[in-house]
Amino acid sequence: MAKLTLIICAVAVVLCVVGLSQSAEGITCRTVVDSLLPCRTYITRGGNLPAQCCRGIRSLNSAANNSAARKMACQCIKVAARAYKANPRYAAPLPSRCNVNIGYPISYNVNCNK
């Protein structure tokens, strides 16, 4: 539990530095983090893919409905993936495992300018 609290605090600090309140067409890093939170255990350790995680990915994909919002979501995912210490083996294919095409892998080194 202490480790989870530490990770959440680290994500919060990073997002404050990046600009949690920045938004693009209504999507903020807070929206992204809230959508990915149910995926945290899966993207770090694998195991069973929670249904809530896929609902969050679908919700995020719906919210990022234009290029500015998709770029903002990508940048926030990049920060969250680094803060969560996402394992590329589980994180990158997550959208396709949820049958969602967000246009990029969940990764801390994805190029959000494409």
Single pTM value for the model: 0.76
Note whether residue 18 is domain-resident. no
Note whether residue 29 is domain-resident. yes
Q: Specify the CATH number for the domain of residue 69.
A: 1.10.110.10
Q: Do residues 58 and 48 touch, judged by C-beta distance below 8 A?
A: no
pLDDT in tens, 64-110: 989 999 999 999 999 999 999 999 999 999 999 999 999 899 999 99
For residues 93 and 17, the model is more confident at 93
Q: How many domains does the chain have?
A: 1
Note whether residue 1 is domain-resident. no
Note whether residue 4 is domain-resident. no
pLDDT in tens, 24-72: 557 899 989 999 999 999 999 999 999 999 999 999 999 998 999 999 9
Note whether residue 27 is domain-resident. yes
pLDDT at 3: 56
Note whether residue 14 is domain-resident. no
Per the structure, the complete domain to which residue 34 belongs is given by 23-114
Burial classification of residue 67, based on how many CB atoms lie within 10 Å of its CB (0-12 exposed, 13-18 middle, 19 or more buried): exposed
Q: Do residues 111 and 105 touch, judged by C-beta distance below 8 A?
A: no
With a cut of 60, say whether residue 17 has pLDDT above it. no
Report the first-to-last Cα separation within the chain, whole angstroms. Answer: 37
Q: Do residues 92 and 74 touch, judged by C-beta distance below 8 A?
A: no
> Which residues lie below 8 Å from residue 25, measured CB to CB, with a gap of 6+?
65, 66, 68, 69, 72
Note whether residue 11 is domain-resident. no
Note whether residue 53 is domain-resident. yes
